[in-house]
Amino acid sequence: VAGHFGYRKRDQHTWVQNFKLCDGKLQSPISISSFKSITLPLPALEIIGYHDFLSSPLYLKNNGHSVVVNVNNHLGKRLPYIFGGSLDINQEYEVDHLHFHWGAKNNRGSEHMLNGIRYPMEMHIVHRNRIYSSLSNALNYKNGLVVLGIFFQEEDNKSLYSIVNHLTSVRWINNETKLNTSITLGSLLPKNTDVFYSYKGSLTTPPCNEVVTWIIFSMPVPISFSQLNKFRLLSNGNNLIADNYRKLQNIGLRKVYIRKL
C-alpha cells in the first residue's frame, strides 16, 4: 500500500478531511524571506554530541513516504541533543530520527523555500523535548519537538555516502537495512550553523500537530547529482516517493526570526 497519505495535489487536498489539525493556523512548510525576517541577538544553537559516532546498529528504512534513519534507540552514550538559539531556556531536545524530502527533478524537493529558492532536497533532524517520554507523547505539547531543516544543493559530498550507498537496499516500502558504517550527525550539518531562521510551525505530514519549533539553516549542504538520483529511485510500491514535499502553508500572523553573526 502507498501509506496513509499521499503527496499528489489531489491527495494533499484530502489531508484536512482525515486530519483536522492540517487545517490549523501554524502549519508548515512556509516560504522564508531574509528581508521579511526579524533579526534577533540570539545565542548560538548548542549542538551537543553531534560529532560522536552513533552506536550501531543504525537502520535505514523506507516507510513509503520518506527514508528514515532512527537514532532514538541507540544505546550507551547520551543521545545527541540541542539547546540555546531560539529555544526556550532550560529546554533540551534529544535527536529522535532523521528523514528526507526530495524532488524528481532538481528544481523541486525541499519543503521550505528560502528567498524564492526551492532546493532539490531538505533533510529533517527531528528532536523531542527531553521532558516528554516518547515522540508520540511529545506530539501533544506545543513545545514538543524541534526540527532542524537542512537544505541540499547539487555539488559533490562525501558525508552522505554511508546513507546513499544503502538506498538500493531500501528501494521498496518497509525495506529496512542495517548501515555498515557509523555516521556522525555533525557530518550532515552545513559548515556554518551560525545563521539560521526560526519560527513556530507543525509537522509537515499528517497528523500536522502544531508542536514544532523550526530551525532552518541558511547554508545548504552539498549533494551530487548521482546521490540525488539514488533517492529518486525509492518507491512506495505504486509510485516513486520523489516529490514528497508538502505545498507551502500560509504564514498568517507568525514571525520568522533570523540569527546572524
Distance CA 108, CA 186 (A): 25
Distance CA 20, CA 208 (A): 8
124 lies in the site for Zn ion, by CB under 5 A: yes
Told to judge if 127 belongs to the known catalytic residues of this protein, a careful annotator would answer: no
Tell me which residue has cell 531536545: 93
Distance CA 185, CA 28 (A): 24
Which is the catalytic residue, given 65, 97, 99, 112?
A: 65
Least separation in angstroms between residue 201's CB and Zn ion is 11
- Which region among 14-22, 23-31, 118-126, 187-195 touches Zn ion (by CB under 5 A)? 118-126
Residue 182 backbone class (left: φ over 0; alpha: ψ -120 to 50; beta: rest): beta
Least separation in angstroms between residue 39's CB and ligand B30 is 25
Closest to Zn ion by CB, 54 vs 148, is 148
Applying the rule CB under 6 A, the residues between 167 and 206 that interact with ligand B30 are 203-205
The closest alpha carbon to 190, from 148, 232, 225, 244, belongs to 148
- Which region among 34-42, 122-130, 134-142, 228-236 touches Zn ion (by CB under 5 A)? 122-130
Return the ∠ at Cα 118 (arms to 112 and 119), rounded to 5°. Answer: 95
Distance CA 140, CA 5 (A): 21
Distance CA 202, CA 249 (A): 10
Closest to ligand B30 by CB, 180 vs 240, is 240
In the shown chain, the binding pattern of residues 97 to 126 toward ligand B30, with x for contact by CB under 6 A and - for none, equals ---------------------------x-x
Least separation in angstroms between residue 63's CB and ligand B30 is 5
- Which region among 36-44, 47-55, 56-64, 119-127 touches Zn ion (by CB under 5 A)? 119-127
**Rg, C-alpha atoms of the chain:** 17
Residues labelled as active-site residues: 65
Task: Using CB under 6 A, list all residues that contact ligand B30.
Answer: 63, 65, 124, 126, 135, 147, 203-205, 212
